[in-house]
Amino acid sequence: MLVLIKLCSILILLIGVQSNPDRRKNYSQLKSCDIGPLAEEIASYESVVKNIINYVVNGPFKGKTYDELSKFVDTFGARPSGSQILEDSIDYMIQLTKDEDINDIVTEELEVPHWMRGKEEITMIEPRIKNIDLLGLGQSVSTPSEGITAEVIVVNNFEELAEIPNEVVEGKIVLYDPIFTTYRETVVYRSQGAVRAAEKGAVASLVRSIAPFSINSPHTGSQNYNNNVKKIPTAAISIEDADLMRRLFNRGQKIILNITMTSTSETKTSRNTLIDLKGTLNPEKLVIVSGHIDSWDVGQGAMDDGGGLFVSWAVPVILKQLNMKPKRTIRSIFWTAEELGLIGAYAYEEKHRNESHNINFIMESDEGTFAPRGLAVGGSQKARCIIAEILKLFESINASTLVEEDSPGSDISVLIKTGIPGASLHNANEKYFWFHHTEGDTMNVESPEELDLCAAFWTAVAYIIADISADIPR
């Protein structure tokens, strides 16, 4: 299992955990999109889409997704991997589902990392005394009990660090100060920064929070050690403090920090949760909707990924209430331990590898549940053509955009890389990274109306894919 966790960490280095808008393109740029008679069949679902949207946005389900999410978040708050509160929240979701008269529920156990931060302090000693806000990065090692006191070197990128002689870096703290472009391009300084700094002899590394906006709010996240390189403490600081140190450094002023960080790390048992709404004609074939139930230990995990969890929970619930049974089975998966390395997704892929040919399509919401705009789709050109045709049915709610993404989603990327077609929710998440992995990830970020739209969209798309005559081609 430890090998599995290491492999998970390596994958995050390679693919990141968020989609990169710069790598996407509108579907209209692709050359051919002729799906023949299937287009007419898909168009016949127009009334189905209208009924689902009306039921969720204006009818009996109005506000329910938000209400249930708020009760969940208010009850449990943050749900770190391996914690008892995460396991209690899984039990809660199982009972909540049973209360909706859905009982085809299975949990699958797996080992997960349980990393807990302890004391975390940074004090700037020179050129003046100042407390620096920080959040240790996931799985960071501790400092000695007296902390680490050292001079800071500020760099923009890895190339700049590589040009500095090792003897200049030795014994110092490296601060990465990259300007946020896209998440995937910038997150490497969080995930790889400690290793790169340690290779040059640094005693600790810091990173400017991976975000475009801040109110002195550090953003945590995963980082990845290399067992062949000394592990050094690593943390994120706010954009404001990174800018301060950059200005001081550029003026030639010596910056000395004292960093004190403690943490513990162990292995625990957790569970993926699988909820099935059985298909009427081909129950062995699956259309999967999903979100991860764990969160970081800061904030309350309302946005990342409480919203995605609850719109995926809502799919079988809404269809059950409407007495709508698709031909294929719709499976809702609540992934565990996503934040520390897609652990739940790797375990699911390994356990179900011999059945993967039955996964018709897989979907995930893990980039916010703001107003839906469409889907980011990975798969063959014909698969994208079919999904594009389905999305035409959602023009009334401005959710008909298909964007091309080779590796959409976080957890589902583990399965998509094996050839399974899939998609992540494309939504109006321009402010997602304002709150991502911070204390600001609370219910205040969520909107009842936007959650209704997401739940209706997610449900209707999943139903159509699960019910049309053709499988989604690989």
d(C-alpha 147, C-alpha 267), whole Å: 26
Three-state SS for 72?
A: helix
Looking at this protein, which amino acid is placed at residue 139? Q
7: left (phi over 0), alpha (psi -120 to 50) or beta: alpha
Q: How many residues does the chain have?
A: 474
Using alpha carbons, select from 204, 106, 75 the residue that is nearest to residue 151: 204
d(C-alpha 54, C-alpha 409), whole Å: 28
Catalytic residue among 68, 338, 364, 405: 338
Positive or negative torsion for Cα 328, 351, 222, 181: negative
The DSSP 8-state label assigned to residue 302 in this structure reads I
- Tell me the chain's radius of gyration from C-alpha atoms: 23
Asked if 8 and 222 touch (Cβ cutoff 8 Å), the reply is: no
Three-state SS for 462?
A: helix
Using alpha carbons, select from 107, 382, 474, 422 the residue that is nearest to residue 287: 422
Is 160 labeled as catalytic in the residue annotation? no
Residues in Cβ contact with 286 at an 8 Å cutoff, skipping those fewer than 6 apart: 328, 329, 330, 331, 358, 359, 360
Q: What share of the chain is helix, strand, coil (3-state, %, to 5)?
A: 40, 25, 35
Three-state SS for 89?
A: helix
| Catalytically active residues, by annotation | 338
